[in-house]
Amino acid sequence: MRKHTRRMYPLFLLCMLPFFALAQAATQSPPKATVRINTNKPKQTIEGWGSSLCWWAAQVGNWDDSQIDEIVNLIVSPEGLNMNIFRYNIGGGDDPSHTDGHMVKGKGKRAEMEGFLPHPDSAMNWSADEGQRKVMLKIKELRPDAVFEAFSNSPPYWMTYSGCAAGHDDPSKDNLRPEYYDAFCDYLIEVCKHYKEVFGIEFKTLEPFNESLSSYWNNQGSQEGCHFDPATQIAIIRKL
C-alpha cells in the first residue's frame, strides 16, 4: 500500500500544476490594452427602443386628455425618453362572468384586458379597448415614425379548453382548442386590418403568443396567458 502511495504522489502534483498556475495568474495584474471603436464600421443597427402598452396604456388612456398628452410627450419626445417602438396588446378578453374576479385579485384591474370578440356569434366590438387605443393614436400623432408591433397573450376565452383567458386547468397544456386555430388567426388579422384601414396604423409584426412555453398560465390566474407547445406554435404561425 505504501508503494502505491509513493507512485501516486508525483502524479498528483503533476495534475495540480495547472491549478497552481491559474491561482498565480489570478494574483497578477492583467495586462493593459487599448480598445478603439471604429464608428465608421457599424456591426448592427438598432431601430430604437420603447415599451409595451397594454396594462398601463389601457388605464392611462381613460384619464383626462391633458394628462395623457403630458405622459405621451414625456415618452416620445427627443427631450424626454425618445421612445419609438411600442407593442400593442390584442386582448383576448375573459369570460364576462369573471369580471372583477381572479385577475383583479391577482394583478389588479389593469390586468383585465378587453377583447374585440366577446362571443363566437357576435360581431367585432371595435369600441372595446378604448384606453390603449387612445394612447397609441396619440403616440402616432406626436411620433409619426413610431414602430408598432401587435401581440397576443391569450385567445378569447370561448376558444379555450378552460373557458378562461388566463390559462388551462393544467398550465403545462395548450389552452387553445384545435378547432379554433383558424378562428384565432382570423381574429388577430382582423384587428390588424381594422387598425390599418381605420386609423392608418400598420403593425410591423404580429406575435400570436407570448411566453408560450411557460407553465405559469392557469385557469383563474392573475392575467391573460396561454401555453402553446412547440408543435402548436408551428401550426399557428403557418396558418397566420
Q: Residue 153: which of 104, 223, 220 has the closest Cα?
A: 223
Model pLDDT, residue 55? 96
Q: In the predicted model, what is the mean pLDDT of residues 168-183?
A: 98
Which H or E run contains 51?
A: strand 50-52
Rounded to 10 degrees, the C-alpha dihedral 89/82/140/130 comes to 40
Identify the DSSP state of 39. Answer: T
pTM of the entire structure?
0.82
Q: In the predicted model, what is the mean pLDDT of residues 199-215?
A: 97
Question: Which range has the worst mean pLDDT, 40-49, 85-94, 121-130, 132-141?
Answer: 40-49
Model pLDDT, residue 44? 84
Under a CB-based contact definition with an 8 Å cutoff, are residues 164 and 157 in contact? yes
Model pLDDT, residue 164? 98
- Domain edges within the chain: 50-239
Q: Which residues on adjacent β-strands are paired with residue 207?
A: 151
Type of residue numbered 79: E
- The CA–CA distances, whole Å, from 8 to 20, 21, 25, 238 equal 18, 21, 27, 63
Model pLDDT, residue 82? 98
Type of residue numbered 60: V
Model pLDDT, residue 28? 73
Identify the DSSP state of 159. Answer: G
Model pLDDT, residue 6? 47
Under a CB-based contact definition with an 8 Å cutoff, are residues 111 and 165 in contact? no
Does residue 10 surpass a pLDDT of 60? no
Identify the DSSP state of 76. Answer: H
Q: 3.30.1330.10, 2.60.120.10, 3.20.20.80, 3.40.1350.10: which CATH number matches 50-239?
A: 3.20.20.80
210: its cell numbers: 407570448
What would the pLDDT profile of 139-162 be if each residue is shown by its tens digit? Answer: 999 999 999 999 999 999 999 999
Model pLDDT, residue 8? 46
Model pLDDT, residue 140? 98
